[in-house]
Structure 1
């Protein structure tokens, strides 16, 4: 659904289109078929998010994919049963919203649960790649039991944080919540006659490219007997470029992600790859024996790998700090203006069902009525928060003995204010700063605990507590906005979020465990699943408790240069305005290839190029169907990760190794084989 068609729908007064359709009770919006479809889609999207987490760490918005597939599955279910002679309730937009909420909440645990960042950073595999803090007090290997328990203890608190502020943010402050609003417009459009026809066409596009992507992943598997074999190691631009991580690796996922991500993100990553692997690392490599020892392994952080990791961390911290301060200041400034322009009593008073004022539009009148009708009592939020906080404070130290109960109590005291700031900031900017608040917890709790008392692990665990709280709080508020615009009851949204979160607390660790057991090298830089943020988070925790004494020569100077450069680039982007700023690269996106290389950036730029050409040929068709094509590519390759992991878990290896050698190396191999 294009932005223009969504705008037109809004101008037509959407609720008049749906006026003849009865809005189900909130209990009737939570149907069995919606929950079954949510469970199926949660597994699919958890595989997709997990694969992205463990490869590049970049996870685009998958709301369009979830909304489209949710509509397809439930609509098909309803039609099949109806044709079979079974009486079924009609498929409503409220039900579609339930599916959307459950799936996003469940798959969101794959991000906030830290399976590609702080949680994996605790493991021995990642610890071995660090310079220090390798003592048992700072290591905890993944296990299904404690991961599921930890997620259940931390993932629900954020839902109770912002529950009493629902009316303030949606009705009083009228926050935009761009993702939640866009999702609602998409769902509303699906349930109009014109939107349903377009949705069917989008589903056909998605199905075709889903099949192609899945079969392409299956075909590639046959040629990948080892990690250096197969199409994913094709030296597209020559062997020298391949050695410097410049090649097209034929990944349908990255091409699809490139079609969804803004052009500037993909170009920024390519620019970062050229700057690092094309210029900086070859120059620093010439300093071997001077800046760092020539006898170090390629993965040692005391050598070239240290420059790659810590300079990337410096850029990420610089970009994160700038955006953290910017969004926090905008949040506080916006809140100040809101409070000044309104009567304080109207903000802090209890929600009532008083009739809307005549100044409200026809949409707002109907939406306000249903939004206020099923209010969740404030006492539920207070009791729920205190109960879960008390249980967590008593239980989490049994999982991480390095994290004391008073550390957790402090986090829960700070969490409501930070959760509100994150949710409010997301409402203004569409940017969740959950990772920023998590890093804040790393430095605060890690330094408090101290390295000799497991400060690294305590900091990473505290990061998990804080990230789960502020991330789920922001997600729930987005869902409230979606529910407000689709007339889904707030109670429905709250219960759907709880169900989806509970699904994620079980599904996500199981999916991660499948990857973890199937790929022995998961988390290593040479692995197909290097999980780049895991090593970065661990080293951030080490920096928080130990300082910078372990960095290689001149690494700290370069880190400061790139930290300041990240701040300066962001400052320039904001100073020149959005029209010119869209041509200035994003430091966060530039930093990721510093560690991984440019192969995925090339794939994503191919996705951008496909979209750019398509828009030049037929912009209307590209706007309507490009998200479906991208979703098909991502979903097909993502679901192939399931059979691929099962084959790896069962010890089944691909039968062929397709590998490329230079002419000189090939002659040597021929000589060995002929002798």
Structure 2
């Protein structure tokens, strides 16, 4: 349920398209959450049969993470030696969780000592303040962040994604960025005018874009090529994988023809076209066999009725709450269902769900719909972001539930019971997720408040790269011209072409015996995130170190890694995630590190 809350909704606040604050908009946020959660829940049911049963073998869908989850669950319920091993795994997860949880809560009271190591600023401070090179490195965001969650993420994503992120960070914020400033294409904004910290500069400003003579910050300059590679690479992947949807439609049509042909033959009748299509139907013996009997399946009337009802509810909600045409709300739900095909296929093959592609594709589609449609720019942007939220949100829920159905299939869990359990979770989530969102936004207005977002002196714990990507695309597709420089435009186009060519090369040339070389291609999704994120290497460094650690651990102690690696990574991510909720509550209670901690070790602090 996290997707819409870490991207589309904060972007709407930054553009002034919502109310005064998230707390006052709780009802509207709850309404759109209900649509995403429950439409995705019901729409996911037929996807189980399609992906887990019908095309799993034909398309070689291995579902890496769901399969690993099923194996882990099975091992945790083993007996004898297996039970002892399971208890060791559970303890490892618990220790990682508690360690990350404790670290994140405690470290906020001494952030510069326990969490963020600004070693270049320390060099500057301890050398008589003469070493401007060290201060410049810190200005460009080069520091170490001790974040268990991103270290754990690095353990899961692999070397290719991690090194691509780090490489994109080095290119933008150690090479190209300083050159752009040197030759006047970009400019930083001074943070300290006098005193011992004079020379502190922010290169992440996003304000003043519409002012005459505006010179962009490096972050704004790199925002567009970052968004371009995310959109283009995602869309090319979408187009190249569109055959999955077409294959599914053909298979469904041919199986229906086979059923119809059998009934016609039983009545002594025939139809040439039906017979031809029935002959092309895949032999049932070639399919993955479903263990679930008819009484264990989700009744058709339940998921069909639920899908239709919540599509209609979605149309009503967007019309009443967001002043959006009801038909566009239904279209957003349909797109979410279609994008779920791409997301599930990507996750089943690569273990990476391409929801970024889905969200950007939906934004471009609705940008085309609203262009020259008589809408004001704010109205067009609101439609763009709400529709994108619904499309990507429903695709996200449907993708996750289909992956869970895969776990249930491997463990022989009746899909009917699993669906009911998922429904209980969804009902809880539609209230819990907006509540946590309001809590975070109340504690950290720097994420959504336009005044704070555009103020370079604002120190925010979250860089929110997805928010800026959604915001940038919404602005791009709803305005006649873009306020970007010529150099930025040329580089953006070139990067879009390069990322598109790589996607085509991967799918049509690096196949068969050459498929192994795909691991050496840069991950453009990671590079795009590095550019959108801004001059900040903290996350990239943490992900890279986590990835290298996992690689080394798996290479030299593979049995130990198989037993504990994924569990420890999950514990680190979950521990920091829950600690973040606690920290937000402490922030609201004015007993967090912002009020009771020390700023020792933080650049510019005394």
* Shorter-chain TM-score tier: 0.7 to 0.9
Q: State the shift of 1:572 in Å.
A: 4.2
Q: Structure 2 matches for 1:443-454, cutoff 5 A?
A: 443-449=364-370, 450-452=375-377, 454=379
Q: State the shift of 1:534 in Å.
A: 0.8
Match of 1:276 among 157, 172, 176: 172
Q: Aligned partners of 1:506 and 1:247: how far apart in 2?
A: 38
Match of 2:518 among 578, 581, 593: 581
1:117 and 2:7 equivalent?
yes
Q: Aligned partners of 1:445 and 1:549: how far apart in 2?
A: 18
Q: State the shift of 1:458 in Å.
A: 0.8
Match of residue 399 from structure 1: 321
Q: State the shift of 1:460 in Å.
A: 0.2
Q: Specify whether residues 447 and 197 from structure 1 end up closer, same or farther in structure 2 by C-alpha distance, changes over 3 A only.
A: same
Q: Specify whether residues 215 and 297 from structure 1 end up closer, same or farther in structure 2 by C-alpha distance, changes over 3 A only.
A: closer
Match of residue 108 from structure 2: 221
Q: Specify whether residues 644 and 542 from structure 1 end up closer, same or farther in structure 2 by C-alpha distance, changes over 3 A only.
A: same
Match of residue 345 from structure 1: 258
Q: Specify whether residues 518 and 501 from structure 1 end up closer, same or farther in structure 2 by C-alpha distance, changes over 3 A only.
A: same
Q: 1:157-205: per-residue Cα shift (whole Å, max 9, x none)?
A: 1233343454344333335350333322322232222443222111222
1:490 and 2:415 equivalent?
yes
Match of residue 384 from structure 2: 459
Q: 1:590-632: per-residue Cα shift (whole Å, max 9, x none)?
A: 1212233322111111112222332344221122111222223
Match of 2:565 among 626, 644, 663: 626
1:614 and 2:553 equivalent?
yes
Q: Aligned partners of 1:212 and 1:446: how far apart in 2?
A: 45
Q: Specify whether residues 453 and 620 from structure 1 end up closer, same or farther in structure 2 by C-alpha distance, changes over 3 A only.
A: closer
1:161 and 2:22 equivalent?
no
Match of 2:587 among 648, 662, 670: 648
Q: State the shift of 1:482 in Å.
A: 1.8
Unmatched 5+ stretches in structure 1:
1-108, 128-135, 351-356, 670-675
How many residues align structurally?
Answer: 527
Match of residue 202 from structure 1: 89
Q: State the shift of 1:383 in Å.
A: 1.9
Match of residue 321 from structure 1: 235
1:234 and 2:117 equivalent?
yes
**Is this contact kept in 1: 2:363–2:384, CA < 8 A?**
yes
**Is this contact kept in 2: 1:232–1:251, CA < 8 A?**
yes
**Is this contact kept in 2: 1:122–1:139, CA < 8 A?**
no
CA RMSD in angstroms, aligned pairs only: 3.3
**Is this contact kept in 2: 1:327–1:429, CA < 8 A?**
no
**Is this contact kept in 1: 2:77–2:86, CA < 8 A?**
no
Q: State the shift of 1:456 in Å.
A: 0.4
TM-score by length of 1: 0.71
Q: Which deviates further from its counterpart, 651-660 or 558-567?
A: 651-660
Match of 1:566 among 499, 510, 522: 499
Q: 1:128-179: per-residue Cα shift (whole Å, max 9, x none)?
A: xxxxxxxx66777423222112211332112333434543443333353503
Match of residue 188 from structure 1: 74
Q: Aligned partners of 2:262 and 2:20: how far apart in 1?
A: 47
Match of residue 249 from structure 1: 145
Match of 1:411 among 319, 332, 351: 332
Q: Specify whether residues 141 and 161 from structure 1 end up closer, same or farther in structure 2 by C-alpha distance, changes over 3 A only.
A: same
Q: 1:196-222: per-residue Cα shift (whole Å, max 9, x none)?
A: 322211122222233332332233222
TM-score by length of 2: 0.78
Match of residue 312 from structure 2: 390
Q: Specify whether residues 456 and 629 from structure 1 end up closer, same or farther in structure 2 by C-alpha distance, changes over 3 A only.
A: same
Match of residue 593 from structure 1: 530
Q: Aligned partners of 1:398 and 1:464: how far apart in 2?
A: 16
Unmatched 5+ stretches in structure 2:
121-133, 191-202, 264-282
**Is this contact kept in 2: 1:214–1:639, CA < 8 A?**
yes
SS of residue paired to 1:192: coil
Q: Which deviates further from its counterpart, 415-424 or 147-156?
A: 415-424
**Is this contact kept in 2: 1:292–1:552, CA < 8 A?**
no
Q: 1:64-95: per-residue Cα shift (whole Å, max 9, x none)?
A: xxxxxxxxxxxxxxxxxxxxxxxxxxxxxxxx
SS of residue paired to 1:542: helix
**Is this contact kept in 2: 1:389–1:412, CA < 8 A?**
yes
Q: 1:228-250: per-residue Cα shift (whole Å, max 9, x none)?
A: x4544422355432221121111
**Is this contact kept in 2: 1:177–1:481, CA < 8 A?**
no
Q: Specify whether residues 630 and 161 from structure 1 end up closer, same or farther in structure 2 by C-alpha distance, changes over 3 A only.
A: closer
1:299 and 2:220 equivalent?
no
Q: Aligned partners of 1:499 and 1:433: how far apart in 2?
A: 26
Q: Aligned partners of 2:524 and 2:444: how far apart in 1?
A: 31
Match of residue 427 from structure 2: 502
**Is this contact kept in 2: 1:122–1:138, CA < 8 A?**
yes
Match of residue 460 from structure 2: 527
Q: 1:578-598: per-residue Cα shift (whole Å, max 9, x none)?
A: 322212220110121223332
